[in-house]
Structure 1
């Protein structure tokens, strides 16, 4: 069970498969150098980043799904801990950012569905919304994607959002964390904070 969460009233959580660029994204938002690695599953417990005197925290939750060298029981435990953490803190979580790999997400989802499995990304997207957390899908590594609109439309389709993707700008945010191209995500998060009358938190996301 995850422990050590700072006592903060407002939080934005980042979730996603291993190796989709969550830690790089967190570094871009916070300026803090989180441990990252080429090997999936480097982050096993939450990384919290908070500010002294501010009632706010960013949380990078561990990656879920396949992790090299990690057995299935351990992977399931991590996923269970992520779900429990989100449920326990849903009242404080102002937004959830589901990070996916823009180049691979649709293929991974289709591969799982073809085996009769519920894809992790689809499951996490539905879960965040089910517990009432405003959710933004940060579609990362879009600098490597040629058929941009087609890919984003296909992702919307897999997530149960009728296309075209452009009508979901508060939910679908095409970004490139490595290139610091994060404006669509910053704007989506700012919109959700404004809807909650939390303009006091805008400085953390824009």
Structure 2
């Protein structure tokens, strides 16, 4: 179980498969370089919390889930269980859950893991956050590598049970971004929306 969570009353959690660019996204969002990034999936094994002195708020980058090269399945399942427990335990303090996906590959991955008795991790996590009543934003990263942008985003909405076209989910649920280039405005817009809905306009300064 993850320990050492800073005592903060509000947080935004970032979840997603390994290697979708969560740590790069966190670094760009916070302007802080402490987040480890690497070519090897699964670099982040414990949550990375980023908080501010004097502020009862933080961003939390949770470890990547799903397949990780060189990591045994038992260990992968344990990490996923820890992520689920963490979110359940702190649900009342989580203002927004951000599910980070790779825009180029997410639809194919979902389709590959969809079966009669199996739900892909990304879809499962999306529903899990929603069931807990946590406002959820899907940050669709690496969009600079996607040619058929609208079609791909519509397909993703379809797989998540959201009615296309994707544009109707813009601003609160679907946020196409390119973390590596710092192109995060759609995500910031969605976070601003949810902070405002939660009557936490005091936090808008963190997503200018």
- Fold conserved (TM > 0.5)? yes
Structure 1: distance between partners of 2:62 and 2:84: 10
Aligned to 1:94: 95
Establish whether residue 164 from structure 1 lines up as the match of residue 181 from structure 2: no
Aligned to 1:8: 8
Taking structure 2 as the reference length, the TM-score comes to 0.97
Equivalent residues, number = 206
Aligned to 1:113, what secondary structure does the other structure show? coil
Aligned to 2:87, what secondary structure does the other structure show? helix
Taking structure 1 as the reference length, the TM-score comes to 0.98
Structure 1: distance between partners of 2:125 and 2:68: 17
Structure 2: distance between partners of 1:9 and 1:121: 27
Aligned to 1:63: 64
Structure 2: distance between partners of 1:64 and 1:37: 15
Establish whether residue 180 from structure 1 lines up as the match of residue 179 from structure 2: no
Structure 1: distance between partners of 2:139 and 2:115: 24
Describe the superposition over 1:95-117 as per-residue Cα deviations: whole angstroms up to 9, x where unpaired.
Answer: 01000000000000000015852
Q: Which runs of 5+ in 1 are unaligned?
A: none
Describe the superposition over 1:61-103 as per-residue Cα deviations: whole angstroms up to 9, x where unpaired.
Answer: 0000001111111000000000000000001000010000000
Describe the superposition over 1:153-206 as per-residue Cα deviations: whole angstroms up to 9, x where unpaired.
Answer: 000000000100000011000000001111100000100110011000011122
CA RMSD of aligned residues (A): 0.9
Aligned to 2:29: 29
